[in-house]
Structure 1
Amino acid sequence: MSKLTTAERDALPDDAFALPGRRYPIPDASHARDALARASEFHHRGELSDHEYETIVRKAKAVLGEE
Protein backbone atom coordinates (compact mmCIF):
# COMPACT_ATOMS: atom_id res chain seq x y z
CA MET A 1 0.00 0.00 0.00
CA SER A 2 1.20 3.46 -0.73
CA LYS A 3 1.80 5.58 2.34
CA LEU A 4 -0.01 8.88 2.77
CA THR A 5 2.03 11.67 4.25
CA THR A 6 0.39 13.86 6.86
CA ALA A 7 0.10 16.66 4.30
CA GLU A 8 -1.50 14.33 1.72
CA ARG A 9 -3.94 12.96 4.28
CA ASP A 10 -4.85 16.47 5.47
CA ALA A 11 -5.45 17.53 1.85
CA LEU A 12 -7.99 14.75 1.22
CA PRO A 13 -11.66 15.79 1.25
CA ASP A 14 -13.84 14.31 3.98
CA ASP A 15 -15.61 12.07 1.45
CA ALA A 16 -12.30 10.28 0.74
CA PHE A 17 -12.66 8.61 4.16
CA ALA A 18 -14.99 5.71 4.89
CA LEU A 19 -15.88 6.72 8.45
CA PRO A 20 -16.50 9.99 10.28
CA GLY A 21 -13.52 11.46 12.05
CA ARG A 22 -11.49 11.02 8.86
CA ARG A 23 -10.99 7.30 9.56
CA TYR A 24 -10.12 4.76 6.87
CA PRO A 25 -8.83 6.85 3.98
CA ILE A 26 -9.79 5.36 0.61
CA PRO A 27 -8.60 7.82 -2.05
CA ASP A 28 -7.50 5.06 -4.44
CA ALA A 29 -7.69 1.32 -5.12
CA SER A 30 -4.64 0.46 -3.04
CA HIS A 31 -6.06 2.16 0.04
CA ALA A 32 -9.51 0.67 -0.63
CA ARG A 33 -8.07 -2.86 -0.63
CA ASP A 34 -6.16 -2.13 2.56
CA ALA A 35 -9.27 -0.67 4.20
CA LEU A 36 -11.16 -3.89 3.40
CA ALA A 37 -8.45 -6.02 4.97
CA ARG A 38 -8.07 -3.87 8.08
CA ALA A 39 -11.83 -3.50 8.53
CA SER A 40 -12.30 -7.26 8.39
CA GLU A 41 -9.58 -7.75 10.98
CA PHE A 42 -10.95 -5.09 13.33
CA HIS A 43 -14.55 -6.28 12.87
CA HIS A 44 -13.62 -9.86 13.80
CA ARG A 45 -11.86 -8.55 16.92
CA GLY A 46 -14.98 -6.61 17.87
CA GLU A 47 -13.36 -3.20 17.39
CA LEU A 48 -15.76 -2.14 14.62
CA SER A 49 -19.54 -2.33 14.73
CA ASP A 50 -21.46 -4.12 12.00
CA HIS A 51 -22.61 -0.73 10.69
CA GLU A 52 -19.05 0.68 10.56
CA TYR A 53 -17.79 -2.46 8.82
CA GLU A 54 -20.58 -2.40 6.24
CA THR A 55 -19.93 1.31 5.56
CA ILE A 56 -16.22 0.67 4.94
CA VAL A 57 -16.98 -2.29 2.66
CA ARG A 58 -19.55 -0.32 0.66
CA LYS A 59 -17.30 2.72 0.18
CA ALA A 60 -14.19 0.67 -0.59
CA LYS A 61 -16.05 -1.40 -3.19
CA ALA A 62 -17.29 1.82 -4.79
CA VAL A 63 -13.70 3.01 -5.16
CA LEU A 64 -12.76 -0.40 -6.61
CA GLY A 65 -15.69 -0.27 -9.05
CA GLU A 66 -17.39 -3.29 -7.47
CA GLU A 67 -20.62 -1.61 -6.44
Structure 2
Amino acid sequence: MSDILNAILERGDLAHLALFLWACAATAQAYLAMRELGEATRRLDAFVRELARFNRHFRSDP
Protein backbone atom coordinates (compact mmCIF):
# COMPACT_ATOMS: atom_id res chain seq x y z
CA MET A 1 0.00 0.00 0.00
CA SER A 2 2.84 2.40 0.76
CA ASP A 3 4.27 1.80 -2.74
CA ILE A 4 1.03 3.04 -4.28
CA LEU A 5 0.95 6.02 -1.94
CA ASN A 6 4.59 6.86 -2.71
CA ALA A 7 3.95 6.68 -6.46
CA ILE A 8 1.02 9.07 -6.15
CA LEU A 9 2.95 11.46 -3.93
CA GLU A 10 5.98 11.45 -6.23
CA ARG A 11 3.84 12.41 -9.22
CA GLY A 12 2.13 15.15 -7.24
CA ASP A 13 -1.30 13.71 -7.89
CA LEU A 14 -2.81 14.57 -4.52
CA ALA A 15 -6.16 15.61 -5.96
CA HIS A 16 -6.73 12.13 -7.34
CA LEU A 17 -5.70 10.59 -4.02
CA ALA A 18 -8.12 12.85 -2.15
CA LEU A 19 -10.91 12.02 -4.60
CA PHE A 20 -10.20 8.29 -4.27
CA LEU A 21 -10.26 8.47 -0.47
CA TRP A 22 -13.49 10.48 -0.54
CA ALA A 23 -15.09 7.94 -2.87
CA CYS A 24 -14.04 5.07 -0.62
CA ALA A 25 -15.44 6.79 2.45
CA ALA A 26 -18.71 7.64 0.70
CA THR A 27 -19.10 4.07 -0.54
CA ALA A 28 -18.46 2.66 2.93
CA GLN A 29 -20.97 5.06 4.45
CA ALA A 30 -23.60 4.14 1.86
CA TYR A 31 -22.99 0.44 2.52
CA LEU A 32 -23.42 0.89 6.26
CA ALA A 33 -26.58 2.95 5.77
CA MET A 34 -28.10 0.31 3.50
CA ARG A 35 -27.22 -2.43 5.99
CA GLU A 36 -28.89 -0.49 8.81
CA LEU A 37 -31.94 0.13 6.63
CA GLY A 38 -32.22 -3.59 5.94
CA GLU A 39 -32.03 -4.39 9.65
CA ALA A 40 -34.67 -1.76 10.44
CA THR A 41 -36.95 -3.24 7.78
CA ARG A 42 -36.56 -6.71 9.28
CA ARG A 43 -37.38 -5.37 12.76
CA LEU A 44 -40.47 -3.57 11.45
CA ASP A 45 -41.59 -6.73 9.65
CA ALA A 46 -41.21 -8.76 12.86
CA PHE A 47 -43.21 -6.14 14.77
CA VAL A 48 -46.04 -6.14 12.22
CA ARG A 49 -46.16 -9.94 12.25
CA GLU A 50 -46.40 -9.98 16.05
CA LEU A 51 -49.09 -7.32 15.97
CA ALA A 52 -51.11 -9.37 13.46
CA ARG A 53 -50.66 -12.45 15.65
CA PHE A 54 -51.84 -10.50 18.69
CA ASN A 55 -54.89 -9.23 16.80
CA ARG A 56 -55.78 -12.75 15.62
CA HIS A 57 -55.49 -14.06 19.19
CA PHE A 58 -57.66 -11.34 20.75
CA ARG A 59 -60.17 -10.94 17.93
CA SER A 60 -63.51 -9.65 19.19
CA ASP A 61 -65.59 -11.77 16.77
CA PRO A 62 -68.09 -14.05 18.58
Structure with greater proportional strand content: 1
TM-score, normalization: structure 2? 0.34
| Structure label with greater radius of gyration | 2
Structure with greater proportional helix content: 2
Higher relative contact order (CA 8 A, sep 6+): 1
TM-score, normalization: structure 1? 0.31
